Amino acid sequence: MSPAEARLKEVPSGMTEAEWGQRVNLAACYRLIAHYGWDDLVDTHISARVPGPEHHFLINPYGLMFDEITASSLVKVDLDGNLLSKTPYHINPAGFTIHSAIHEAREDAGCVIHLHTPDGTAVASCAEGLLPLNQTAQLVTYDLAYHDYEGIALDHDERPRLQRDLGNKNHMLLRNHGTLTVGRSVASAFERMFHLERACTMQVRTRMLGPSAYPVDADVIDKNTKLLDNPERQELRSTTLVWPPLLRKLDRLDPSYKN
């Protein structure tokens, strides 16, 4: 049995192996977001669907820093925001509005990540949005949606517009607000966010060098789009090639996320 398999076998009583495995992966994602400096005090959120027929989801307890979150501290809720697990914490209402909208509309939304990073928010606040200026950006732009800012997301009436704007895309720039990614798994949502955030940083730095960037031929962009537009291959890469070494990194840094 591999270390990763052994980790997922440490299941608390009264919880399925599938739920515990999702909790471990989601807690790992919170820790990785903190490790890369993408967190925002106790704000922003990552949610994951609990495997099974119920529409139950895991999200962070409001009031914990991302580097404090563990598998057992994650809060389970339903689509109406009702708490389904005992916890001394609440959940952030604005975070639930955004995440519940996507989970409700997208059966394939196993995980949703939303961030407020400086570079991601800077690009989301520019009229031009994210441009295919480089290879990393082209990992994203073919699959990128936009949603206009409507204020702090406390109004559930915004959810249909968010669902409409996202459609079947897996990357989104929330205008004047931040970044968002969707994945079938925590692994694929994280890898997409890694590329989205890095592409935004690259664009910010490119723009700092001057008003123009060296152009990419349109045929090359089309070529990359055809190569990348394969969800099955992208999911396999995320779950088998990218995520295991990230978990090993966390195990070296601080394995307490598994608690």
Cα(173)–Cα(145) distance, integer angstroms? 6
Angle at 176 between CA 173 and CA 179, to 5 degrees: 30
pLDDT over 90 at 2, yes or no:
no
What is the pTM for the complete model shown? 0.92
Band of pLDDT at residue 64, cut at 50, 70 and 90: very high
pLDDT over 90 at 236, yes or no:
yes
Domains of the chain: 16-254 (3.40.225.10)
162-193 pLDDT per residue, tens: 999 999 999 999 999 999 999 999 999 999 99
User: 137: Cβ–Cβ under 8 A, 6 or more apart, which residues?
Assistant: 130, 131, 199, 202, 203
Query: Which two tokens mark 42?
Result: 């106790």
